[in-house]
Each structure stands twice: as C-alpha cells, then as structure tokens.
Amino acid sequence: MSNNNKLSFLRHPLFYCIFGIFIYHKKMVCRNFAVIHCNFIILLVLIFFYSCKNSNDSISEISAPIFISSTPENGETNVSIYTKEIVLIFDVNVTLKTPYNITLNGNTLTDIRPGIQKDLQIILPELKEGTIYELIIPANTIKGPTGIYLPTEIKLTFSTYTPPKRIFSPEAQNVMNFLKQTYGSKTISGTMANVNWNTEEADWVYAQTGKYPALNCFDFIHFVFSPSNWIDYSNTSVVENWWKAGGLVAAMWHWNVPANSGVADQYAFYYGSKSDHTLFDVSKISDENSAEYKLMIKNIDTISSYLNTLKSKNIPVIWRPLHEAAGGWFWWRAKGAAPFKLLWKLMFDRMTNYHHLDNLIWVWTSEGNDADWYPGDEYVDIVGRDLYPTTNIHDSQWTEFNKVKAIVSSRKMIALSECGAIPDPALMFQKGDTWLWFMPWYGNYTRDDSQNGAAYWRTVMNNSHVITRDQMPDLK
C-alpha cells in the first residue's frame, strides 16, 4: 500500500470535523492535562478507525471484478434446449466494453444485459439437442464500477440434453418441430370437446371472437359404447375436418372399466366404493393371467384401432392418456405410482411397437408434486398440468409451472393441458409460465363469464402471444 493511501484520511472532511471538535473542546475546558490527554486518545482512535476503513475501501476500489458463478455451471451436462440465457454472477455490478466480442461456439452474441444484482445476462440463440457449447468472454471485456477490467478470459462449457430416440410419422414430426419452435415464445390456444367427439366449444369460441383456437382435444370416454347410433369413434370425419382446416388434434381417454354394480353395461372411471364407481385393480398389470390384465390389453387394442384409423389418414395426435394419475380419483391411481408406471409403459410399448402408432405425441399429466409418478423421458414427449384456480383466476400460474419444470429438470415442454380460467397471456410471458398450450374444460369453464366467457376470450385470442388456428403453419 502506498503512503498516499495510508494518509488519505488527511484529505477527508471527516478528519477536519474531528480535529475542529477537538480544538474547540480544548479551548472550552480547563487546561487540565488529563482531559487533553483523554481527548487526544479519542481522536487517535477515530483517526485509526477511519484510516483502516478507508484503506480497505481503497483496496476494493482498485480491484477488478471477481467472477463468482454461472447458470448453467461450467461443465454442466443435460442442459435443457429451452434454456434462454446464461447468467453470470460477479462480486460487484459490471458493465461491458464496447464493442465486445462474446461468442458461443464461435458465433458472436449480441443480446447481453448487465443487471442490477451483480449479474450479467447473456441471451442465447435456439439451442440444439445433444450439442456441446463453449462460451468465451475475452479478457478486458467486463469492468467494475471504477472502470477496472477483468484481466482474464471467462470460458464456460456445457452440453445440452440428448433425448431418447423417437421415430415419428412425418406429420407428427412436423408437429413436434412446430411445438419446439413455439415453446417459450408463444402459447397455443385450445378447447376441449363437449364430452367426446366434436368441436362444439371451438365453434362457440369462433362465434364469439371470429377466430378458432389452434388445438381441439377429443375424448374416447364412451369407447365402451362405440360403435352405436350415438357414438362411433371409427367415424373420424370431425377430426379429419379439424386437421384439414389447420388445427392441431389432441385426444385423451377417460378409461371406463366395469363398475362395482356388476351390471354388464355399467362402467366407471372414478375409483371408489359406490356402485357407480369401480374397484378395478390396476396392480394386476403385473399378472398376465389376471382378468384385469387381459381387459386392459383388450381396451388398449380397441383404442389403438381408432388411433390407427387416424394414422391411416396421416393425422398426428397429441395423445394424453391416464391423466391426473397422482390426483387420487381415477382407478389407474388407486394402487400407487409403481403399477401406474407399469401400465403407462405397457400402453406405450403396445401402441408404439405392437400397433406401430408413430403418429402419437405422448403427454404425461403432472400434479406438480409427483416426481415418483413420472414414467421416464423415453416414454414422455410433453408434460401437462391441469389447474382449476378458484381465486385470482386469470393470474399467472408460474409457481405451478416451475413445480412441473423441476420434476423434469426443464427437459420437456410444459402445457396447461386442462384449466378452468385461462391465465392472462400477458402475465404468462411477464412472469415466466410460458405454457405450450392452454385448454379450458368444456361447458361453463369455456363459456361462463365467471371462468372465461366471450369478452375474455376476445382479449385472449387477440393477444400477440396467442396462436389461433388461422396463424398455424401447414404441418401436413
């Protein structure tokens, strides 16, 4: 430390204030040596304290910024391709020399934002799966508040997640590509069929807003009665018309099994002791000789035949079976996570490898606290969350979004697969719950003002973040 730094306190106003008080006190009191001696000691202590403090300040003022940490970390693997930024943390607020040459795999990055929390946000381009990335910030690019530059280079290396290999039909691959390009920048509007096999809610939204939602979800809920004069899932005209008009096709399955009543034509999907509920034992999925296993295989094959009809017409399906498993109300949840996951994997294998349904994009529905129920990356393409808020109903749902995000470590796209009220799209993208799509339930959830209603649908469908059917690319 230089002598100038050691004596810098002599130039500070505080020194002169202390010294003046000392002289004044000296004149006002008797010239008692003890009093003077005491005052002198106090003055020395104050000068010593300030000198030490000022010396430390001088040291920090002439130091370069110190790089502390980053997200993602150096050497991190399985980074999500949906990562939008690299955040660097320093010991002080930092700025950049201009022009700068910060690169990612040799390509210059231009969107870099010094924060106010000692951070530097580097906005990333679209990342590719299974790729090693290297970020380089040259020496003397980052400076602290006093203009001293970090004299060393910062180099970070990370690699993105490589998903299990999936073979899709050309149309399903087109849909997957579109969904990946959309995720994080837009949200897809959706509606749920009124009970099963129609576009009634989508038609109502169009009548109120002049725009169709981009996605319509159908339900195989009445498969045990098909074909009949009131429901026939082999008649796919309504689905074909939706796909030909540019809409995305989704489907789910409220899987009915025999009810407790024992009556041959009574079925239930809710689990419980009432006669109109079922005690169907999903754990028998492990026993190939059981009546339950044989019925599950038979039902899966039946639904596969309907899905195969759609495949033959080159229609991809966003497929969401066995939904809300950890919620506690359906029979496929009754025996816990282990048999549920066995059932999911059996269905996936039978539909994918036995029936060769490569037109399906598989959606697992999370309850937000059910990591043990996740079937595994190789069996899931997208993760959904069903939400029915009762207060602040159009508020952002970023807390629930982040719960699901944590379960899959950001490796999968996340959709609001069912909802009551639609979150305000502006708040979605302000807060960060960038759901891939939203889909309110049919009936009052879609039409009533207490949930959504015509006026709110007009607001939603005219938001720049929302994709409507007329904005869909050709995915055929």
Q: Name the active-site residue from 171, 201, 324, 400.
A: 324
Q: Name the active-site residue from 201, 367, 400, 418.
A: 418
Helix (H) or strand (E) holding 104: strand 103-104
CB distance 384 to 416 below 8 Å:
yes
Helix (H) or strand (E) holding 402: helix 398-407
pLDDT of residue 61: 52
Q: SS3 for 472?
A: coil
pLDDT of residue 115: 83
- Give 328-374 pLDDT, tens digit per residue: 899 999 999 999 999 999 999 999 999 999 999 999 999 999 999 99
| Residue 69 backbone dihedrals phi, psi, to 5 degrees | -160, 175
pLDDT of residue 26: 46
pLDDT of residue 328: 87
Question: Is 378 a residue of the active site?
Answer: no
How do the domains of the chain map onto residue ranges? 3-61, 67-159, 170-471
> In terms of Cα–Cα distance, which of 342, 351, 349, 379 is closest to 363?
379
CATH architecture, range 170-471: Alpha-Beta Barrel (3.20)
Question: Is 200 a residue of the active site?
Answer: no
- Give 217-231 pLDDT, tens digit per residue: 999 999 999 999 999
Residues with pLDDT less than 50, the chain:
1-38, 40-41, 43-60
Q: Regarding beta strands 85-90 and 119-123, do their DSSP bridges make them parallel or antiparallel, or are they unpaired?
A: antiparallel
Fold of 67-159: Immunoglobulin-like (2.60.40)
Query: What is the C-alpha to C-alpha distance for residues 248 and 472, in angstroms, rounded to an integer?
Result: 9
CB distance 248 to 467 below 8 Å:
no
Query: What is the C-alpha to C-alpha distance for residues 142 and 424, in angstroms, rounded to an integer?
Result: 38
